[in-house]
Amino acid sequence: MYLSFYVDVASGATIVLLQAAVFAVALAVSTLRRQAGRKLAHVHVD
């Protein structure tokens, strides 16, 4: 809400776009962690 006030844009659109950006970051982090876990699972320790 503060961001939309200071940027002078619609609050609804700002909330939706901000939540979409947070979701995209969370999805990217989740994907990277999953890939790193798969790589570690294939490492053999003798």
Give the pLDDT band (50/70/90) at residue 36: confident
Question: Would residue 23 count as lying in a domain?
Answer: yes
Residues spanned by the domain of 16: 2-41
Give the total number of structural domains in the chain: 1
Question: Would residue 18 count as lying in a domain?
Answer: yes
Question: Would residue 46 count as lying in a domain?
Answer: no
Amino acid 3: pLDDT? 81
Across the range 23-28, mean pLDDT stands at 98
3-state secondary structure labels for all residues of the chain: CHHHHHHCCCHHHHHHHHHHHHHHHHHHHHHHHHHHHHHHHCCCCC
Mean pLDDT of the chain: 86
**Is the predicted pLDDT of residue 17 greater than 80, yes or no?**
yes
